[in-house]
Structure 1
C-alpha cells in the first residue's frame, strides 16, 4: 500500500470512528450502546464474531450483546467455570490475545471447547476508564482463522474499547439517575398517601416509610411502591 492509499484508509477509519462515537452517544441506553459497539467491530476488525460482557455489582457479568450465538456460548462457559481469557481480562484489566485455540495452553479446557466451536483466534479487550478504575466489561473478538489479529487490529480494538467505555459509563449513569428520580417520585407519592390518611406531616410520613423499610429489610422504593399499589403498608 502506497502513502496515498494509507492516507485514504486512515481518513476513512477516522470518519468511521467519528460516526461510531455519534452513534454510541446518541444511543438510548446501555443495550443500544453495546449493540453499536459489536456491529462496528464486525466492520472495522478482522473478526467474524464479537460480543460484550459487562461487569455487574454483586452478581455475575451480564452478556447484553453478541453477534452470534457461538459468542454467548463461549462467554457462558467461562462464567460457569470461571476459567478463560474473559475472566482474566475482567479481573486484570489486561488485553488477552489467543493466537490459536488449538495450541494455546493457558486454559486447556476452555481452548478445547472453543476450538470445537470453530473459533481459532480470540482477542479480549478490557472496557475500563483507567488502570485504577474497575473494569466496566470486556469486548471479545473471534475468528475461525488462526493468528487472525495483528497489531493494527489490536490498536483499533483499544480505540473502540475507549469509545465504548465512555459511552457505557454515560449510559449507566443516566440509567442510575433515572432510577433515582423514579424512586423519589414513588416515595413522594407514598408520603402523600400517609399524610392524607393519618394526618401526619412530611417528616413523620418519611419516618414511617423508613421504619417499615428497615423492619422488613425491604428497599425504600419497594415499600413505597407496595403502599401505592395496595394502599397498605407491608405487614
Structure 2
C-alpha cells in the first residue's frame, strides 16, 4: 500500500483545482473551493476569505469559511488599513506574524486581536481599473505562517485569479455579443422604416450616437424600444 507524501497530496489537490477553474462554474463557487483548500493545505488557518475592493470605496467580502473574515474585512474598510487592503491594492504578499506587536496598522491590528486573531497572510488576486482583490488567511496563534504557507497560498491565489479573469472575459464576450445583436436589430428596424441600405442605417446610428454623446448600444436599444410606435 502506497502512502501519499505531502508534496504528492499537494500536487493532486492543485490538479483538481486546475480542473475546477477550467470548468464553466460560478466564480463564487470556485473561490469557495479555494478558501476551503486553504484550510486543508495550510496548517494553523482558523479562517479564510476573499476581499474585493472597489475604486469608489465599496467592498465585497466573499467565500469566507466563517463569519470571521467578513468581520475583519469590515474593520479594514472602516479604518482604511490592514493586510488584506495592502495586498489587494499594493503588495503581492502581506504577512503579519503577531498583530499584538504590529505597527503597520495601528487601528486594525488591535481590533483584530480583540476578535482573537493574532496572525494574517494575504495574497493579491488581481487589480483592475475598477476592482482589486485579495485572498486572506487568518490564525488565532502568533507566528502561524511560514515560507511554505506563502508558497502554497501563492499557488492557490493564482488559481483564484485565473477563475476571476476567465469570468471577466466571459462577461465581456457576452456583453459584446449582446451589443452586436442590439445594433443588428436597430439597423433592421431603420432599414425597414426608412427604406435605406445596411450601411446607411449604421451610419444613422453612428451619427445619432455622436450627436447625442450616447453609446451606440444605448442608441440601438432606444430604436428597438420604438418598434411598433
TM-score, normalised to structure 1, is 0.81
1:107 corresponds, among 95, 102, 105, to 105
Q: Does 1:127 align with 2:125?
A: yes
Equivalent residue number for residue 91 of structure 1: 89
- Identify unmatched segments of 5+ residues in structure 2: none
1:138-157 equivalent positions in 2, closer than 5 A: 138-157=134-153
Shift of 1:188: 1.2
Q: Deviations over 1:97-141 (max 9, x none)?
A: 111222212101011222222222110111259xxxx99621111
| 1:49–1:223 distance in 2 versus 1, CA, 3 Å | farther
Contact 1:139 1:161 in 2 (8 A): yes
Q: Between 185-194 and 207-216, report the one with greater CA deviation.
A: 207-216
Contact 2:55 2:131 in 1 (8 A): no
1:42 corresponds, among 39, 46, 49, to 39
Q: Distance in 2 between matches of 1:115 and 1:208?
A: 63
Contact 2:123 2:135 in 1 (8 A): yes
1:1-235 equivalent positions in 2, closer than 5 A: 8-46=5-43, 47-54=45-52, 60=58, 62-128=60-126, 137-231=133-227
Shift of 1:33: 2.7
Shift of 1:155: 1.3
Shift of 1:61: 5.2
Contact 1:186 1:225 in 2 (8 A): yes
**Partner-residue secondary structure (3-state), 2:107:** helix
| 1:125–1:221 distance in 2 versus 1, CA, 3 Å | same
Superposed CA RMSD: 3.0
Q: Distance in 1 between matches of 2:111 and 2:185?
A: 53
**Number of residue equivalences:** 225
Q: Between 206-215 and 103-112, report the one with greater CA deviation.
A: 206-215
Q: Distance in 1 between matches of 2:70 and 2:5?
A: 36
Q: Between 141-150 and 213-222, report the one with greater CA deviation.
A: 213-222
Q: Distance in 2 between matches of 1:63 and 1:217?
A: 36
